[in-house]
C-alpha cells in the first residue's frame, strides 16, 4: 500500500507520522525533506525533481513524506497523490495550521483518494476539539484522528527503528507502550481506509 503524508505548512509532524507509519506498515520511507531523519534506508528525492522516480512510484509498500512549497503543491505531491492509496494531512490545533490543512485538502481533493487528517502534538483536548469541529464544519465528517503530545517521535528520531521495534519489550519504557498501541491503532485504521484493512 502507498501512503502520502503532506501539508503546505511545516512543523505539523509530517516526518514523525510518516516515519512511524512506515515502520508500522513495513513500508519504504521516502521524503523530499532537505534534512531527512538520520536513520537507515531513508530515500531522499531531490527537491528539483518534478515527479516521483518510476522505480519509487512502483514500490508496493511506501510512505511518501512530502512537504509543499508555500500555498502551491510541489509537483511531486500531485504526482504521488495520483498513485497513493490514501492521503494523510497532519495538523496542529492552532488557527494557522488548521487553515493550512483546509488549503491542503482543497489542493488534493481532486485526486479522488481518501483523505484523513491527524491532529498531532496537542496537550489541550479542548483545543483539539475546536480544531476538529472547525475541520468537520468546513469538510464534512471526514476521518480525523488525534495524537497527543508524546516523546515517542523524538525517541524514534534519536534512537532509530530498532529501538522502536523493541520498545514494547523494554519495561522501563512502559509509559510509551500505551502510546504506541494508540498510534498503531490509528495507522491500522488509515490502512483500512486506504482499502487494505
Rounded Cα distance between 18 and 65, Å, is: 6
d(C-alpha 79, C-alpha 32), whole Å = 13
Q: How far is CA 187 from the centre of its chain?
A: 9
pTM equals: 0.87
Return d(Cα 35, Cα 99) in angstroms, integer: 25
Copy the grid coordinates of residue 40: 537507515
Taking the C-alpha atoms of residue 136 and residue 145, their distance in angstroms, rounded to an integer, is 12
How far apart (Å, rounded) are the C-alpha atoms in residues 123 and 33? 27
The pLDDT tens digits of the residues spanning 61-92 come to 999 999 875 556 678 898 999 999 999 999 99
List, for residues 147-192, the tens digit of each pLDDT value: 887 666 666 655 656 666 666 666 656 666 677 778 888 999 999 9
Grid cell for residue 123: 496537550
- Asked if residue 98 lies in contact with residue 106, where contact means CB atoms within 8 angstroms, the answer is no
Instruction: Kindly report the CATH class assigned to 2-193.
Output: alpha beta
Q: Which three cell numbers stand for residue 14?
A: 509530517
* Residue spans per domain, the chain: 2-193
Amino acid at each position: 500500500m502507498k501512503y502520502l503524508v503532506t501539508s503546505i505548512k511545516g512543523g505539523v509532524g509530517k516526518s514523525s507520522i510518516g516515519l512511524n507509519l512506515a515502520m508500522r506498515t513495513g513500508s519504504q520511507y521516502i521524503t523530499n525533506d532537505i534534512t531527512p531523519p538520520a536513520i537507515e534506508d531513508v530515500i531522499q528525492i531531490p527537491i528539483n525533481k518534478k515527479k516521483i522516480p518510476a522505480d519509487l512510484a512502483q514500490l508496493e509498500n511506501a510512505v511518501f513524506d512530502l512537504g509543499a512549497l508555500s500555498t502551491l503543491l510541489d509537483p511531486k505531491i500531485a504526482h504521488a497523490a495520483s498513485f497513493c492509496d490514501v492521503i494523510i494531512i497532519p495538523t496542529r490545533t492552532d488557527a494557522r495550521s488548521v487553515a493550512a490543512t483546509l488549503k491542503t485538502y482543497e489542493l488534493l481533493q481532486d485526486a479522488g483518494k481518501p483523505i484523513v487528517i491527524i491532529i498531532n502534538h496537542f496537550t489541550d483536548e479542548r483545543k483539539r476539539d475546536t480544531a476538529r469541529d472547525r475541520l468537520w464544519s468546513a469538510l464534512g465528517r471526514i476521518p480525523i484522528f488525534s495524537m497527543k503530545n508524546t516523546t515517542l517521535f523524538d525517541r524514534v528520531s534519536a534512537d532509530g527503528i530498532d529501538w522502536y521495534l523493541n520498545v514494547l519489550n523494554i519495561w522501563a519504557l512502559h509509559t510509551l507502550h500505551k502510546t504506541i498501541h494508540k498510534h498503531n491503532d490509528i495507522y491500522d485504521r488509515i490502512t483500512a481506509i486506504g482499502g487494505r484493512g
